[in-house]
Amino acid sequence: MAYQHTVHWVVDKHVDNLWKSPEIKEAAAKIAAGELVAFPTETVYGLGASARFDEAVKAIFQAKGRPADNPLIVHIAKTEDVNNYTNFVPDKAWKLIHSFWPGPLTIILRHNSTLSTSVTAGLDTVALRMPDHPVALALIAASGEPLAAPSANRSGRPSPTTAAHVAEDLDGRIAGILNGGATGVGLESTVIDCSAEEPVILRPGGVTRRQIEEIIGPVALDEALTEETTAPRSPGMKYQHYAPEAPLTLVDGDDSFFHMCITEHRKAGERVGVIIQAADVGLTKADVEYVLPGKTEEEIARELYGALRTFKKTEVDHIFMRVLPAENIGFAIMNRLVKAAGGRIRSQHS
C-alpha cells in the first residue's frame, strides 16, 4: 500500500499516562483500523500491526519487502498476556519472563491459534516479548492489540535506531511513525526457544547467554545461528540482514593487515570507508572514516546500525571494519556484522 503522506508524531516518553496522549491515540486508532505504525522500543524501531488481523500482518511483509516464511515477534504490554496466546508456559520460561520482562528478550512458545497464521509463518510456535519502552507499551495498551512488529526497515537493510532511519526506508509505505527518540540497546532482542524441554538460543541480542544461564542454568546455542535454514523458527535466522548500501568486509588481523586490505582497494580505484574505534582515527588512510564514539560493547551496539547506514553508494565503493571480541553482547554484535557482510571476512591467519 502506498501513502501520499506518512504521519509523523513526536512523543515525549517521559509524560505520565502516555497512552492517553493525542499522538498515541491517533497512532493506536490506525493500528485498530489495520494500518501500520512504526514505534520505538528499547532495542530498535518496530513496524507494528495487530497480530490478530491477517491482512494487517501481510501488509508488514509488503511494506518491508520481507519474505513471508520469516516469522514475526508479537509484542505485548503485560506479562499475563502470555496466557492469551499460548497453550503452555514452562517453568523456565516463566523464570525468564519474571527476570527480563519488560526487556530485550523474546521467548518462543507453543501458540493456541488465536493469532494470524501470517505472524507465525504457519509454525506451531509464536515469538513473544514485552518491550521496555514507554511509547511501545502505551501504543499496545491504547490499541488494545498484540502488535506483530519486526524492525521498521526495508528487508535486508540495517535496522533503524531513530525515527529518521525509519523514514529513510518506509516514508510513503506506512501510515505513521511515532518518534520517541533514539533507541537504547541498538540491537534486536535475544530470541530463546522454550517450546521444547530444553531452551535454545536462536538469536543473540540484548540479553546475553550468561545472564540467561544465571537464571535457568545451561542453555544451548542453535547451530543455525550462522547458517541459513529452510524453515526459520525465529526472526533473523534466514536471508541477508543489516546490509549497508556498499559491500562490507570484516577484517581479522593486526594493524598492518587491516591497512593492507584498505590500500589494496584504494589502489584498484575504489573509494573506501571504514568503521573504526578512536584508536584508529587518521591511521587507516581510508576515504571516509566513521568513528564509533564508545569503547564498551554496549556503546558500540547502540551505534552499530547508525554506522552501517552512514555509508552511501555515492560516497564509497567498499567498507571495512575489524572484527570484535565475540563475548557477552559482543557475540550479538558479531552475529549482526557477519550477516551484514554476507559472510565476507578477511583473515590474516588463513
- Whether 93 has a binding-site annotation, put simply, is no
pLDDT at 229: 36
Q: Does some domain include residue 14?
A: yes
All cell numbers assigned to 85: 496466546
Same domain as 37, residue 111: yes
Find out whether the peptide bond into 71 is cis, omega within 30 degrees of 0. Answer: no
pLDDT at 224: 73
Same domain as 270, residue 214: no
Q: What is the mean pLDDT of each run of 10 residues along the chain (350 residues)?
A: 84 94 98 97 98 96 87 97 96 98 98 95 96 98 97 95 97 97 96 96 96 97 64 50 93 95 97 93 91 91 96 93 93 94 90
Same domain as 315, residue 173: no
Q: For residue range 311-330, list pLDDT tens digits in order.
A: 988 899 999 999 999 889 99
Instruction: Report the run of H or E that residue 83 belongs to, with start and end.
Output: helix 82-85
Q: Does some domain include residue 266?
A: yes
- Whether 66 has a binding-site annotation, put simply, is yes
- Whether 75 has a binding-site annotation, put simply, is yes
Range of the structural domain that residue 92 is part of: 7-226
Q: Does some domain include residue 232?
A: no
Task: Give the global pTM.
Answer: 0.93
By DSSP bridging, strand 272-276 and strand 318-322 are parallel
CATH classification of the domain holding 135: 3.90.870.10
- Whether 129 has a binding-site annotation, put simply, is yes
Same domain as 126, residue 174: yes
- Whether 242 has a binding-site annotation, put simply, is yes
Q: How many domains does the chain contain in total?
A: 2
- Whether 155 has a binding-site annotation, put simply, is no
Q: Does some domain include residue 1?
A: no
Q: For residue range 228-253, list pLDDT tens digits in order.
A: 433 445 554 444 679 999 999 999 99
Taking alpha carbons only, the member of 301, 311, 194 closest to residue 247 is: 311
Q: Is 231 exposed, middle or buried (0-12, 13-18, 19+ CB in 10 A)?
A: exposed
Do 182 and 166 form a contact (C-beta atoms < 8 A)? no
- Whether 268 has a binding-site annotation, put simply, is no
Do 184 and 152 form a contact (C-beta atoms < 8 A)? no
d(CA 105, CA 51): 19
d(CA 209, CA 217): 10
Same domain as 260, residue 220: no
Residue labelled with grid coordinates 507465525: 120
CATH classification of the domain holding 316: 3.40.50.11030
- Whether 99 has a binding-site annotation, put simply, is no
Residue 325 φ/ψ, nearest 5 degrees: -60, 130
d(CA 346, CA 264): 13
Same domain as 194, residue 58: yes
User: Which amino acid, 262?
Assistant: I
**Cα distance from N-terminal residue to C-terminal residue, the chain:** 48
Report the SS3 class of residue 253. coil
Which CA distances in Å does 163 have to 10, 18, 170, 225, 266? 9, 18, 10, 29, 34
Residue labelled with grid coordinates 497512532: 27
